[in-house]
Amino acid sequence: MALIDNAVYVGGRRVESPSTLSLATRGDLAWIGLLRPDPSELEAVATEFDLHENAVEDARKGHQRAKLERYGDTLFLVLRPAWFDSSADTVEFGEVHLFVGDRFVVSVRHAERPDLAALRSRVEADPEFLAMGSEAVTAAVLDEVVDGYAPVVEVLQDHIDAIEDQLFAGQVDPGVSKRIYQLLSEVLAFQRATKPVPAMVKGLLRGADKYGVDDEVQHRLRNVLDHALRVTERVDSFRALLENALTLHATLVSQEQNEAMRRMTSASLAQGEESRQLARAAHRQGEEVKKISSWAAILFAPGLIAGVYGMNFDHMPELHWRYGYPVAILGMLALMGVLWAIFRKRNWL
């Protein structure tokens, strides 16, 4: 059932807890708490308290930005409470709509948190404050929502500190970049929830004298304003820190890539130098082989002639010629000289 609590107060004390919504003319103050009401229930509340259709439409649809609007004598506030879900390791957001009139407050929640039932119990424990009317309830709800921001701020601070430690340690793990983006997304959503709150509280304080708001309620609102400003300042700093962290991480990744490229280039140069040395060695070896081959060919020529005439055949030309020996020697020398000249011209010697 959407109706969570329904109370009529006189002098700050609960005098009745009706089961229906027909209580606009009873007591000093009516406070109705609804959780995810259906359109018919919202329509009944709108009819009972003459709520503006635009505000009712916003309350029915949900997913509204934090804001403060006035429709005649009725205020319409949208608040975005936040809390950290440790199981999912993320910041979660709720939505609370307040319709505030001279003698009534209607709270419409679209999430289980914050626990306005616990808040109602604490407010009822202070009848003097509750006797100050609907403005006191509004201040109490604002205080509850803004106080709920503090634990989220601390958790975000811890996570950002961990990111900074990783970055200053020179870690360029891709998981760090992913976590920075996640945190930045959460911080931006948190910023959208918290940033309008100081302006909303200032708006309430500007109209406090005009609408006869008690000094104690104004003091409570100023305290809420102080807390809200501190929260928004820290959230703004979180955004700047994470944006800088992204830049730093990108720089570290770029440096790591440049270092890897430098190492690859150095390895490539070393490999090229080794290849050049091998090529030079192969060239020198080729030159030596050419020289050896050239001299082997030069020495092969006289060996060929000597081998032919060293065969023991009786019928060989010039075998018994008187000038055969000197002619053979001269032929050997001439052939060697010709081969030497040829190899020398080709730079083989």
3-state helix, strand, coil in the chain (%, to 5): 60, 15, 25
* Cβ proximity of 136 and 28 under 8 Å: no
Confidence at residue 315, expressed as pLDDT on a 0 to 100 scale? 65
Confidence at residue 23, expressed as pLDDT on a 0 to 100 scale? 59
pLDDT-based confidence at residue 76 (cuts at 50, 70, 90) = very high
Residue 341, CB half-sphere, CA atoms under 13 Å: how many?
6
Report the distance separating Cα 204 and Cα 209, nearest Å.
10
79 alpha carbon, distance to own chain's centre? 26
pLDDT-based confidence at residue 172 (cuts at 50, 70, 90) = low
As beta bridge partners, residue 106 has: 32, 99
Which two tokens mark 248? 């730093």
pLDDT-based confidence at residue 319 (cuts at 50, 70, 90) = low
Confidence at residue 40, expressed as pLDDT on a 0 to 100 scale? 87
pLDDT tens-digit profile of 38-56? 888 888 889 888 899 999 9
User: Between 254 and 201, where is the model more confident?
Assistant: 201
pLDDT (mean) for 166-180: 76
* Cβ proximity of 45 and 20 under 8 Å: no
Q: Which residues contact 18 (CB under 8 A, 6 or more apart)?
A: 6, 8, 26
Taking the model in full, what pTM does it have?
Answer: 0.72
- Where are the alpha helices (H) located in 195-312, listed in sequence order? 196-206, 215-309
pLDDT-based confidence at residue 306 (cuts at 50, 70, 90) = confident
Percentage of the chain beyond pLDDT 90 is: 42
Instruction: Compute the Cα dihedral for 188, 190, 193, 195 and give only its sign.
Output: negative
End-to-end Cα separation, the chain, in angstroms: 109
Number of C-beta neighbours around residue 145 at 10 A? 25
Model confidence at 297: pLDDT above 80: no
